[in-house]
Amino acid sequence: MDYLKIQGTPSLSGTIKISGAKNASLPLIAMCILAKNKVKINNLPDVVDIKTLLKLLSNLGSECSFGVNEVVIDTSMMHETKATYEIVKTMRASILVLCPILARFGHCEVSLPGGCAIGQRPIDLHLKALEKMGAVIEIKAGYVEAKAPKGLKGCEIIFDKITVTGTANIVMAAALADGVTTIVNAAREPEVVQLCEILNDSGITIEGIGTAVLKIQGNGGKLIDIQPFSIIPDRIEAGTYLCAGAITNSELTLTDVEPKHLDAVLAKLEEMGFSFTTTSNTITIHPTDEIKPVKIITQEYPAFPTDMQAQFMALATQANGTSVIEERLFENRFMHVSELQRMGAEISLNGHIATVNGKTELSGTDVMATDLRASSALVLAGLIAKGETDVHRIYHLDRGYDALEMKLKNAGANVQRLKE
């Protein structure tokens, strides 16, 4: 297994190019199951989760031909409708194939994804919505078995909770349903917006894109002609590198980024004393005289993203004063805390609320990654810790960060990827 060896770095400089968004790529790859033509996807990030989903599509009989950060997906020969545990257990977002397969073939079996480190991650809202659209759902031996031999029917779906992949799944089901589907309490994340925009551009009329109420005009089960598209920039990768610039108090420029997807993150960094210069596709963070403490509550987009919570926890250790971070989406998303504490961070937990006292000097040591975003928080801490930090189990990082150590090295960090 690989690990990252990080020496404390006085500061970073230069530019970091942001890759395509992992969480936009996953539903858009699943969407290709609805296509009647070969679909060309550009600006695809080179991360493990994308490879996993493309492998799943190949196992189902699709053909994927790869270029650099691009893929052409041909699902015309798709014949399998069962997504097996072997793949789904490694990436719970595989659940995104459930609705496209069901909408296209009238039946589908997908292994229950199981929980993950950050929480139980149920899919009850996906399944309840599908049943309302006429699917018959059974859970058998750890698999979801869904049937809709006569196709799915458009109807009104009201999500009890905002669910990102739940919204994406039902949008894809609705695209081939008979009649209109209205989704109330829909997720508004940019990744869901791009899925709706691509479907809308491909002839599936969707009203309310970017709002909490989506109205999808289904085409009654016909496959869709999907034009080539390019994945939007990864706002969480961008936020992570903004925190790298912040924690080292550096001047750092991100390119190929979409600033408007980062309003809540930029607002919190401004509260902490940082300032920015932005253009349509770049953000430069400027150093501050003093890093101020911050209060953060994670909520659905456009509020502060849970996927940036761990990174801000690392940053808050360098603020002069007490920061408070409340995690409202996942039940177990504080696993980075114990590792940060081992580096000297003063963090106390009370249920879903973490209190971080700063400024504390962190010391390098061996730390263990536990989930994707927690791993990035440990890398950020390693950038400013005294001495050497070895971050183990970085397969978590490789799931969602494209060439992280190369990007940090190019910005002046002392990071090496080594073998255990």
DSSP per residue, 329-394: S-TT--HHHHHHHHTT-EEEEETTEEEEEE----B--EEE--SHHHHHHHHHHHHHSBSEEEEE-T
Amino acid at 232: I
361 close to 345: Cβ distance less than 8 angstroms: no
To the nearest whole angstrom, how small is the minimum distance from the Cβ of residue 334 to ligand EPZ? 14
Q: Which residues pair with 353 in a beta bridge?
A: 326, 350
Q: DSSP strand E in 173-231: where?
A: 180-184, 206-207, 213-217, 229-230
C-beta closer to ligand EPZ: residue 229 or 274: 229
Q: How far apart are the first and last CA of the chain?
A: 6
Residue in the structure block whose two tokens are 């009329």 = 205
327 binds ligand EPZ (CB under 6 A): no
| Cis peptide leading into residue 359 (ω within 30°) | yes
C-beta closer to ligand EPZ: residue 83 or 362: 83
Q: Looking at residue 35, what DSSP letter applies?
A: B
Contacts with ligand EPZ, 92-111, as mask; x by CB under 6 A: -x------------------
List the catalytic residue out of 32, 64, 99, 116. 116
- Using CB under 6 A, which of the segments 51-59, 115-123, 218-226, 378-386 binds ligand EPZ? 115-123
Site for ligand EPZ in 293-322 (CB under 6 A): 306-307
Q: Which of 164, 199, 216, 238 touches ligand EPZ (CB under 6 A)?
A: 164
Q: Which of 29, 296, 329, 367 touches ligand EPZ (CB under 6 A)?
A: 329
To the nearest whole angstrom, how small is the minimum distance from the Cβ of residue 11 to ligand EPZ? 27
To the nearest whole angstrom, how small is the minimum distance from the Cβ of residue 305 to ligand EPZ? 6
Distance CA 203, CA 174 (A): 13
- Using CB under 6 A, which of the segments 137-145, 162-170, 314-322, 404-412 binds ligand EPZ? 162-170
C-beta closer to ligand EPZ: residue 3 or 159: 159
Size of the site for ligand EPZ (CB under 6 A): 22
C-beta closer to ligand EPZ: residue 48 or 315: 48
C-beta closer to ligand EPZ: residue 310 or 415: 310
C-beta closer to ligand EPZ: residue 72 or 303: 303
Phi, psi dihedral angles at 326 (to 5 degrees): -110, 125
Residue in the structure block whose two tokens are 């990102």 = 164
Q: Which tokens in the block code for residue 323?
A: 């920061």
Sign of CA dihedral 357, 363, 364, 368: negative
124 binds ligand EPZ (CB under 6 A): yes
Q: Which of 104, 261, 373, 396 touches ligand EPZ (CB under 6 A)?
A: 373
372 binds ligand EPZ (CB under 6 A): yes
Task: List alpha helices for 60-141, DSSP H.
Answer: 85-88, 98-105, 124-132
Distance CA 188, CA 164 (A): 8
Q: Which of 381, 400, 404, 408 touches ligand EPZ (CB under 6 A)?
A: 400
Amino acid at 77: M
To the nearest whole angstrom, how small is the minimum distance from the Cβ of residue 22 to ligand EPZ? 6
C-beta closer to ligand EPZ: residue 95 or 340: 95
Neighbour tally for 346: CB within 10 Å: 14
Task: Tell me whether residue 155 is one of the annotated catalytic residues.
Answer: no
Binding site for ligand EPZ (CB under 6 A): 23, 26, 93, 119, 121-126, 161, 163-166, 306-307, 329-330, 372-373, 400
Active site positions, annotated: 116
